[in-house]
Structure 1
Amino acid sequence: MTLTSEDTALDPDLLLDGVHLIGGDWVPARSGQTIDVVNPANRAVLARVPRGGAEDVDAAVAAAEGALPAWRDLDAASRGRHLFAWADLIDAHGAELDELERQEMGRPSWGPPRMGGQLRYTAGLADKVQGQSLPTFSPDALALTLREPYGVVGVIIPWNAPGPQFVMEVGAAIAAGNTIVVKPAEDAPLTPLALAKLALEAGIPPGVINVVTGYGAEAGAAVPSHPKIRRVGFTGSPVTGRAVMEACAKNLTPLHLELGGKSPQVVFPDADLEAAVPQMTFSITLNTGQVCAAGSRIVVHRSVHAELVDRLAAQMQQVTVGPWHRPVAMGPLINATQHERVLGYIDVGKESGAELVVGGGVPRGDGLADGFFVEPTLFDKVDPASRIAQEEIFGPVLSVIPVDDEEEALAVANGTEYGLVASVWTRDVGTAVRMSRRLQAGQVGVNSVLGAPAIGAPWGGYKSSGFGRTMGADAVLEWTQVKTVSLRDAAPPGR
């Protein structure tokens, strides 16, 4: 299968047409049906993938069960070496993987992908999984804890960053000794399939990684409800996350959830607006706003409100929009449903009484007519209780909410069901400390957006943004369970 853009072609060996990966074999869906994968910039069919269902998930679980004993019992350092080899292949195919994800997402280039580095960090954790020695009541006894893999695990990953999400979830799970079944989003399954192929080429044994493509209501629903899947990871919307959690509850399957956000950016009078505005604009237009951490609410002190809005309007008007192969800042939304949804929220914003400052429509121009494009949109004087200030739009729609003081700012910032990321813009250390303590978010960035620019920072949310953590030093530990072992000398006293 060859995928082409207007001026490049991908390596046909990176993907196989119409098949997914079960136990080391590339096979079609049991139903024989397929799903078209469409480039959202022009609606061209890129490829077809299997429309898997419960039978395919069953087969993948069986393959993962078969591979589990050897992989689980392999020493941790050797598992790490397999992941390092996988990372090397990812880097070697970085340009092709970037091109592939750009086409299935429709996004412009972000530069060389960081998936190899992300995986190396995880690989280095594989042999750092350690238990503890425990005190005992008697000198003739020893006690300790072991961290062991769950066994066969499952993850459901979203479409907005399919490559990094695949590497992040799969890398940590298999580094801990689990084997895995992955259900990628039907809108963007190609990069995960290509990464799985490279994992096999890197020497990761067949059955350790299995990828079943299909719709969420079919293949996706079969993952958390499967009785032999012993832990689940899900990234997506709160609505689907609740359904996943309900399915897991029937089998008492533990899980972690990352369910999006409505991230506030709190701007104080002493903020450096020259530094803040480009980052704020980047945060809401990166990936066309289809980022869980997007800073979609600007909570600003009235003394700098007017100046900030003027600066944001000017900056957002400079954002270039176009297809993946052009040097632009923003591409299309992922599909027709998302396009209609975001435009619907813009209508809701207008009807709510918010002041539309920039955007609000569909851009026109060469190469845009067939894609799911939308203009970067800025609303001012937004009611903090309105839908556009409360609900995750997952598009390039920014709401500005003026406030009078720190307490009001804090109340507005914490006043949604979400708690993933928050930003504070101030030069005052005391303000930064107080807000960092009191903001209800899993990540707080001071004078930064999209979370702190830290290596190894754990990622996860508060409230309806989910629970559990990915990335970070504990990423592999999240995929282990703890066993206590007690040993006592069986010889009689005095021998």
Structure 2
Amino acid sequence: MTVTAEAPQTLDPDLLIDGAQLIGGEWGPSVSGETIEVINPANRSVIARIPRSGAADVDNAVEAAEKAFPAWRDLSATTRANLIFKWADLVEQKVQELDQLESQEVGRPASGMVPMAGQLRFIAGQADKVQGVSLPTHTPDTLGFTLREPFGVVGAVIPWNAPGPMFAVEVGAAIAAGNTIVIKPAEDAPLAALALAKLALQAGIPAGVINVVTGYGVEAGAAIPAHPKVRRMGFVGSPQTGRAIMDACAKNLTPLHLELGGKSPQVVFDDANLDAAIPGMAFAITINTGQVCAAGSRVVVHRSVHQEVVERLASHLQKTTIGPWYEQVNMGPLVNQKQHERVLGYIDIGKQEGADLIIGGGKPSGEKYKDGFFVEPTIFDKVDPDSRLAQEEIFGPVLSVIVVDDDEEALQVANNTEYGLVSSVWTSDTGRAVKFARGLQAGQVGVNNPIGAGVIGGPFGGYKNSGFGRTMGADSVLEWTQVKTVSIR
């Protein structure tokens, strides 16, 4: 593995928020005055500090959101849409700076292709398309119809792996529907979210419509779904935390959507175009160092092409370049020490379970890697489909290869986890493609493409323990509304 070095670029001081969070249009510290360091995972240097908030800060944010709600709700939907369009324009103007900021806090290589502006424009286009329906009535002197109305103050908690896009999707859809929001980004990667909130204010979105509270999940994060004035929740993260969020929402009967983990299968048949499948599958496990819920972490391969697939995948992944965010590489470090220990721990589990380690299995050697949370792309072959390696989400670049003998076994193995987020099937047989598109238990199925690539506005969400509810689709704004039936005589 090689690294090509370029001089790191200085982060934009106008977008780097240090020591402050956003409540009611004002930037300030937490009530306690305590802070948390945001660490660069490539070298463990401190990028910035953020407020360590708790329930009192969430109370203040909810109060600010509640105060801003009536005026924001009563704006015409077209006016709200225009403000979100202006927000998207500012995001586009700062696309490289935002990319560098998120890359440095998350650890992924900078690409300049962050999707937030496009996401916000897609959402803005839905804002004034929210419609009710007319209803039949028993008598001609009665008029019946439905209204779709915002919930009021809503909440969201997002993870660290793609904070900018997730902030845009959750906040954009919620405020497009007329809600005001209190959102907590992950303490490991809050800076892109704070920068986006600053651009929203510059676009003219009123104070209090967007409130960003920073801090630990068990403190600030837990206080949002527990707050009785938060009327709807959105959460993206682990199933364990999702259950805790759902328990908190249950106490106040707060509706929510959950987008949780995945253990996505990539099913490869003997008629697959391996020239397309191999780089696609390698991308699906190395993107963001495997730290995506949609990562294609299981290769379910027909025995007749098993050896060729493993050899070609190993050859492809051995060419993966690794380094810090500012270098022209394929893969960066893991986000923090806890995640580094977790991934290396699962590699040890794979060895103990008797799977064949083909490549990788540790931290890359060299002076430039010693302080960072780097790990090699890793392939385990002949993995037991019921083993921990095949069943549990690792959230790192660790690929499990499982051999099957026919279509029925392939479908059974692919569906044999608690998750159902994303899946792929690689085949030239149209009938087989249709069969697996229907049979795979996942919210997204890619046929001859990895992790649902190439679709604009596809609803994203999971089956089974991968959660419920959908984001990013044509109905994403509707998800943040509630229905009222009106009858007039």
Equivalence for 1:238: 239
2:413 maps to 1:412: yes
1:185 touches 1:213 (CA, 8 Å); kept in 2? Answer: yes
Equivalence for 1:134: 135
Equivalence for 1:491: none
The one-character-per-residue Cα deviations of 1:233-254 (angstroms, maximum 9, x if unpaired) are 0000000000000000000000
Equivalence for 1:439: 440
2:228 maps to 1:227: yes
1:301 touches 1:403 (CA, 8 Å); kept in 2? Answer: yes
Within a 5 Å distance, the mapping from 1:24-35 to structure 2 comes to 24-35=25-36
State the alpha-carbon separation in 2 of the partners of residues 228 and 7 from structure 1: 44
> How far apart are residue 452 of structure 1 and its match?
4.3
Equivalence for 1:248: 249
Equivalence for 2:176: 175
Equivalence for 2:400: 399
2:185 maps to 1:187: no
Alignment RMSD, CA only? 0.8
> How far apart are residue 111 of structure 1 and its match?
2.9
2:62 maps to 1:84: no
Within a 5 Å distance, the mapping from 1:55-454 to structure 2 comes to 55-454=56-455
State the alpha-carbon separation in 1 of the partners of residues 271 and 244 from structure 2: 44
State the alpha-carbon separation in 2 of the partners of residues 363 and 194 from structure 1: 33
The one-character-per-residue Cα deviations of 1:438-464 (angstroms, maximum 9, x if unpaired) are 110000000011114211100000000
Following TM superposition, the consecutive aligned residue runs of length 4 or more in structure 1 with deviations greater than 6 angstroms are: none
The one-character-per-residue Cα deviations of 1:60-107 (angstroms, maximum 9, x if unpaired) are 000000000000010000000000000000011111101100110111
The one-character-per-residue Cα deviations of 1:336-381 (angstroms, maximum 9, x if unpaired) are 0000000000000011010000100100124211000000000000
SS in 1 for 2:97: helix
State the alpha-carbon separation in 1 of the partners of residues 344 and 112 from structure 2: 29
Equivalence for 1:492: none
Equivalence for 1:11: 12
State the alpha-carbon separation in 1 of the partners of residues 397 and 98 from structure 2: 25
2:264 touches 2:297 (CA, 8 Å); kept in 1? Answer: yes
**101-110 or 300-309, which moves further after superposition?**
101-110
> How far apart are residue 8 of structure 1 and its match?
1.7
Structure 2 unmatched runs, 5+: 1-5
> How far apart are residue 7 of structure 1 and its match?
3.3
State the alpha-carbon separation in 1 of the partners of residues 226 and 118 from structure 2: 33
> How far apart are residue 15 of structure 1 and its match?
3.0
State the alpha-carbon separation in 2 of the partners of residues 248 and 473 from structure 1: 26
SS in 2 for 1:72: helix
2:96 touches 2:112 (CA, 8 Å); kept in 1? Answer: no
State the alpha-carbon separation in 2 of the partners of residues 41 and 395 from structure 1: 15
TM-score by length of 1: 0.97
State the alpha-carbon separation in 2 of the partners of residues 325 and 27 from structure 1: 30
2:120 touches 2:172 (CA, 8 Å); kept in 1? Answer: yes
Equivalence for 1:37: 38
1:151 touches 1:230 (CA, 8 Å); kept in 2? Answer: yes
State the alpha-carbon separation in 2 of the partners of residues 276 and 90 from structure 1: 34
**263-272 or 364-373, which moves further after superposition?**
364-373
> How far apart are residue 19 of structure 1 and its match?
0.7
2:38 touches 2:46 (CA, 8 Å); kept in 1? Answer: yes
State the alpha-carbon separation in 2 of the partners of residues 377 and 217 from structure 1: 32
State the alpha-carbon separation in 1 of the partners of residues 149 and 23 from structure 2: 24
1:348 touches 1:388 (CA, 8 Å); kept in 2? Answer: yes
Letter in 2 for 1:408: E
> How far apart are residue 11 of structure 1 and its match?
2.1
SS in 1 for 2:379: strand
> How far apart are residue 126 of structure 1 and its match?
0.2
The one-character-per-residue Cα deviations of 1:248-294 (angstroms, maximum 9, x if unpaired) are 00000000000010000111110001110001001100000000000
SS in 1 for 2:226: coil
State the alpha-carbon separation in 1 of the partners of residues 399 and 251 from structure 2: 39
The one-character-per-residue Cα deviations of 1:37-73 (angstroms, maximum 9, x if unpaired) are 0000000000000001000000000000000000001
Letter in 2 for 1:477: L
Equivalence for 2:3: none
State the alpha-carbon separation in 1 of the partners of residues 139 and 37 from structure 2: 65
Equivalence for 1:48: 49
2:269 touches 2:301 (CA, 8 Å); kept in 1? Answer: yes
State the alpha-carbon separation in 1 of the partners of residues 249 and 488 from structure 2: 35
Structure 1 unmatched runs, 5+: 489-495
> How far apart are residue 400 of structure 1 and its match?
0.4
Percent of matched pairs sharing the same residue: 71
Letter in 1 for 2:247: E
- Report how many aligned residue pairs link the two structures: 484
TM-score by length of 2: 0.98
SS in 2 for 1:223: helix
1:443 touches 1:452 (CA, 8 Å); kept in 2? Answer: no
> How far apart are residue 6 of structure 1 and its match?
4.9
State the alpha-carbon separation in 2 of the partners of residues 158 and 343 from structure 1: 21
SS in 1 for 2:155: strand
Letter in 1 for 2:121: R
> How far apart are residue 312 of structure 1 and its match?
0.4
SS in 2 for 1:234: strand
State the alpha-carbon separation in 1 of the partners of residues 146 and 249 from structure 2: 26
State the alpha-carbon separation in 2 of the partners of residues 320 and 11 from structure 1: 27
> How far apart are residue 9 of structure 1 and its match?
1.3
1:444 touches 1:452 (CA, 8 Å); kept in 2? Answer: no
State the alpha-carbon separation in 1 of the partners of residues 261 and 230 from structure 2: 24
SS in 2 for 1:457: coil
Letter in 1 for 2:129: K
2:456 maps to 1:455: yes
2:475 maps to 1:474: yes
SS in 2 for 1:224: helix
State the alpha-carbon separation in 1 of the partners of residues 456 and 50 from structure 2: 35
State the alpha-carbon separation in 1 of the partners of residues 71 and 183 from structure 2: 20
Letter in 1 for 2:420: G
> How far apart are residue 484 of structure 1 and its match?
0.3
State the alpha-carbon separation in 1 of the partners of residues 51 and 290 from structure 2: 29
State the alpha-carbon separation in 2 of the partners of residues 66 and 262 from structure 1: 42
SS in 2 for 1:125: helix
SS in 1 for 2:33: coil
